[in-house]
Structure 1
């Protein structure tokens, strides 16, 4: 197979969204050293694919900088042929937008450090106020990246149980209720044996609202697992007498470090930077016209280079009957997240929210 064949094959792999295959084919071309390959590597077509594929080769980096794409664009941004000049300008526009996200992320980190410093001075005042509040039995749980955060009052111990789950399967079964508090409390996961138990000694020092905060790190072997976490108090550890029933809380842990902004087109961020290739699955609660609603699969796909996905635009007229969306965003490394959203006011059936950024970069 000649170098020309490899270049054309890589191009068509990109058109069919087979990026990994395109990188593999293009790597074969890069390793060629014959006369034809050397001449081919001097063409604008080869340089363009080199820059385009750098966005995907850099995806595994914590903070990708796209050095190859930047170097190639700097050489071709003033190309004399208007069509090719526009293509490289599109890549330059993407790099500028990505850099803007990076600068915003850095500013947010600096702002957070300033906020933390000012909060330290108010801690004593909050502790004094909390000491005057009631002494009821309380146990609340939430999850963050790699940890379960427990807020307790008048309790000494609790037990954590971890139940691995298939998030996409549970979401598809009941898109609007699966991970709600009411559904979780009666979840069928309690009928199976948990993967692991943890006994936790709760912190006794009260902070905000009279609640003591205890942070429990997820066990290393479960840190990358999507699961439900059951938090159950140990009644014998109560520090006050109470006839209240034992507290039992179930919360989903999606191992998620994703932030989602949505308004017709959602955008997935991690650490302030866009995340591409997140799987997105959308269900819609649709009015049937007789005062009832039903849940229907709406669409699915993957986020583009800037972490964007158009979850509204379709070719049919279903959008006119949609009352609410339920959206699953899932990434194999960064976890999952479920969001619900109302349909945008200006949504139509002809793709007003259609997002073609990734394919427009090719301008074929």
Structure 2
């Protein structure tokens, strides 16, 4: 892929027409996004499946999540593409270098904490940040914090275990996201990104970068980014969500409770091992956490399971495979898993 394709030629239509077109696109996007849930239920109702059956749950999950993630991916890539026309990768990296980069890790983790997205919804933002030249470790801090300690999960956890445990969970989740991002950043693994992502990092040719761009030009750049990135990633998004839907519909909760009912030392790594192949969002995992605690599972073991499900799920890895090499995915999983194991053992010892 040629880097020049990311930066579109000067747009021929007047700016006002592009403004109208983009406004219309945003209105249609908002309308479509608001209808995802009723449409998914309608599609399931068209089949002969029982909505509460395993197959019905899996189908509803798939029909809802595929357009949701693709819509988010399209919007995020378009916006970051437009913004990138003002900030080249070189400028972005310079802004986050040295002391500023040190602040970038907690800032990215804070953004993740404030973002009410599940893990697969955070992946589009991750891709947008990486393609815009934001340092790799900083983007990982966001990717980890977003699903792990987002506002929805914290609110539900507060009602389940009280403010003391919730505050401690927020602190350790934020710390894991910050430290893990910093550790990955220190490894200088940008060379382990997929080739097409590294090409996006290269930025525009000097003659284009120095050219005065109109707003219509910037819109064209955003659209070209959508074509390049979404066109490459969408099959992996669909495949990852298909895996997640099957797990969501067919993995029994009772099995989880039996595995994690013990407080033996091995229950923490076992809980992480069981949680990684699973997939659900934060709101979906809280009822499982409640059931596990009600069946006598240790708090640290249960939280380690929760973190592994929402921060290291197999579907997320499937989607990230189109952006990261297997080696980089392995480093990411290893660093985050180490932090989750530490949290599990720590909570079991304290609470």
Q: Which bracket does the TM-score occupy, shorter chain normalised?
A: under 0.3
Max Rg structure: 1
The structure in which a higher percent of residues are strand is 1
The structure in which a higher percent of residues are helix is 2
Using the size of structure 2 for normalisation, the TM-score is 0.22
Using the size of structure 1 for normalisation, the TM-score is 0.21
